[in-house]
A and B are shown apart, each in its own frame.
Chain A
Amino acid sequence: MEGLAPFLQNLSGGLLIGGIYALIGVGLSLIFGVMRVINFAHGEFVMLGMYLAIVLFVQLGLDPYVSLLIAAPAGFLVGMVVQRLVIARLVDIPGDSTLLVTLGLGLVISNVLFLVFGAEPKSIYLPYATRTVMLAGIRLPVAQLIAGGVTLVLITGLWLLLTRTELGRAVRATAQNRLGAELVGIDTPRIHALVFGVGMALAMAAGVILAPLLFAIPTAGASYTLKAFVVTVLGGLGSVPGAIGGGLLLGVVEFMGASYLSSGYRDAYGLFAFLLVLLLRPEGLFGRTVKRV
């Protein structure tokens, strides 16, 4: 039973980081599912959340878990504004214009962060968050445990919103058939703005809970965008429950690959999994069918 404890250690680490990936991926998948927009600025919003937490911590001494209460509404508002001002103009145009616009927005955000904060990595030091808890022979860092808890709460909240409320029903209707939704009186432009806002709120919240865990670098946004894509493709493009499964899977694959194969390729394992899924099951591990040519 020698290999079991390290295995469980890796598994728990992978699941906890995977929860955060899921949180990032869920927003991307929701936006794609409802609006058919691929948001290339998603990772940059994660970085925006991280830097917001750092600024609030350094300037006001605010605990990052408290600043969640500021970051999530802020993300929601910024997302609504971006959607109304930029993306709403392009939603009905076929082709990749929304993809390019969000790519441009991402570049603007990451370079503004670069101009404001500089290139050197920044982080938050929380004495209580660096401790670890022993649980059945597994070491669990407190910051990761809190991150896992917050993720669970947020995703459950989103789930309840989507399945238990009239608003959630309108969102699902818009995702299934936009014209049909409009015919029964749903204000789909409003739903779009709302969904984009929720996606950005989730991304910024993910950034905030990552702040005590990782160093913030202005240009790191692209790698989070990439991870979010991997998560959504693993789970099926546009599927919210799929994104949760995809996120957890990505975390575990990265952790296991890094510790049993080669740590240098840590970021590549997820990409290999992504390519494998494209090859074998493009509808995603948990998704429905996709259109083939």
Chain B
Amino acid sequence: MTQGPDAPRGAAPAARPPRPSLLASPWPRLALVAAAFAAWYFVFPSALSLGITLMLLAGWATAWDLLGGWTGQASLGHAAFVGLGAYTVGVTAANFDLAPWWAALLAMAAAALLALLWGRLTFGLRGAYFVLSTIAIAEILRLVAINERRLTGGAVGLFIFDLQEPFGLDLFSRHVEFWFSLGYLLLVLVVVALVTRGRLGYQMRAVREDEASAQAAGINPVAVKSWAFVLSAALTALGGCLYGVFLSALQPQPLFELHLSVRIALVAIIGGRGTLFGPLVGAALITLAAELFRTTFAQANLLIYGLLIVLVVLFMPRGIMGELERRVVRRRYAKSARG
């Protein structure tokens, strides 16, 4: 913090307002997350698949939050990027024998480009146009995946059965996938932590709170929203690539479906929009709850999502981490006010 020219020199500021936890260093907690998942690998070796789906969902939701939480533009079409990532790996491996890491780069570039064009189309308009268009574009991609059979295998799907091996690692092994997914989750968390603590992060929050005021302060809302969207899309597509390899049988139905988009968004909302670890907390809670209720509710487990989202929006609109964060900040202010 730089002191202004008028600040009295020498005299230490009496009661400096406490730093909101938003600015508290995220790195220790990030290390804790890494350690917890590393421990999962050794403690629950039989639940690696569950861990992978949890980490991927958490990664997508954290990436979603960059746009949906920090910038305030909820998207209900992020499945488009998951599907784009998965299908890019599948199609390029089957047709051109492209290495999966190049395919991942290609998928991220494609997702970024799609997000850029998409943002151009809708971010200039106020109101609900963006969220409506997200559903439409994911749906169009799903129909393309169903209908372009020569490329995607249509409704039957596409199988990934041969991939080049990085450093001799078998990508189809759950053990390898677990560590890759952990790496992905940490990468997303680090990117979001860095972005939201930087200049762009402040601009994103300014746009979220009040677009007109942000504009008056010299921020270009369309550009800020587009940047958030591009980053969010590329990160989601990277996770989609991992998911494609994890599934190794790609079908348009689960990949591009509205339900996946909704799940990504809901996990972030329940955990707390605009918080670094909220989406991860939400993903952990939802994945474990779904695992517990899997036998009771079978395919209707979205019922739980539906109920949860209604309850959270009505009674806990900030989400779990958002409420916690607010309480911590309040307590600190109360403490500093008492002296």
Chain A residues engaging chain B, CB cutoff 8 angstroms:
32, 38, 86, 89-90, 93, 95-97, 99-101, 103-108, 110-112, 114-115, 119, 222, 226, 229-230, 233, 237, 262, 264-265, 267-268, 271-272, 274-275, 278-279, 282, 290-293
Contacts and interface: CB of A to CB of B under 8 A. Distances in A.
Given A96-B74, A96-B131, 4 more contacts: A89-B314, A264-B147, A275-B136, A282-B125
B217 interface: no
A187 B76 CA distance: 34
B269 A100 contact: yes
Nearest to B155: A264
Nearest to B125: A282
Given A38-B128, A114-B299, A104 B221 contact: no
A275 B114 CA distance: 14
Contacts of B128: 32, 38, 99, 237
Contacts of B176: none
A95 B74 CA distance: 10
B122 interface: yes
B50 to A, nearest CB: 22
A107 B262 CA distance: 10
Contacts of B199: none
B215 interface: yes
B300 A265 contact: no
A112 B135 CA distance: 23
Given A97-B313, A100-B313, A105-B306, A275 B143 contact: no
B139 A271 contact: yes
A290 B132 CA distance: 15
B309 A104 contact: yes
User: At the interface, is chain A mostly helix, strand, loop or mixed?
Assistant: helix
A293 B216 CA distance: 12
Interface residues of B, number: 46
B83 to A, nearest CB: 15
Contacts, number: 128
Contacts of A233: 129, 132
Contacts of B121: 275, 278-279
A86 B309 CA distance: 12
A101 B312 CA distance: 9
21 contacts: A38-B128, A86-B314, A93-B317, A103-B309, A104-B307, A107-B303, A108-B306, A111-B302, A112-B300, A222-B258, A230-B136, A233-B129, A237-B128, A262-B147, A265-B147, A267-B143, A271-B136, A271-B137, A275-B136, A290-B129, A293-B126
User: At the interface, is chain B mostly helix, strand, loop or mixed?
Assistant: helix
A154 to B, nearest CB: 25
B117 to A, nearest CB: 10
B308 interface: yes
Given A265-B143, A265-B147, A293-B215, A278 B133 contact: yes
Contact of A101 (B123, B125, B302, B314): B314
Interface in B142-157: 143-144, 146-147
Contact of A104 (B76, B306, B317): B306
A119 B299 CA distance: 10
Nearest to A283: B125
Given A107-B305, A267-B139, A275 B133 contact: yes
Interface in B77-136: 121-129, 131-133, 135-136
Given A103-B262, A264-B143, A229 B126 contact: no
B306 A292 contact: no
Interface in B259-301: 262, 266, 269, 297, 299-300
B22 interface: no
Given A107-B306, A278-B125, A293 B133 contact: no
A107 B302 contact: yes
Nearest to B301: A111
A265 B129 CA distance: 23
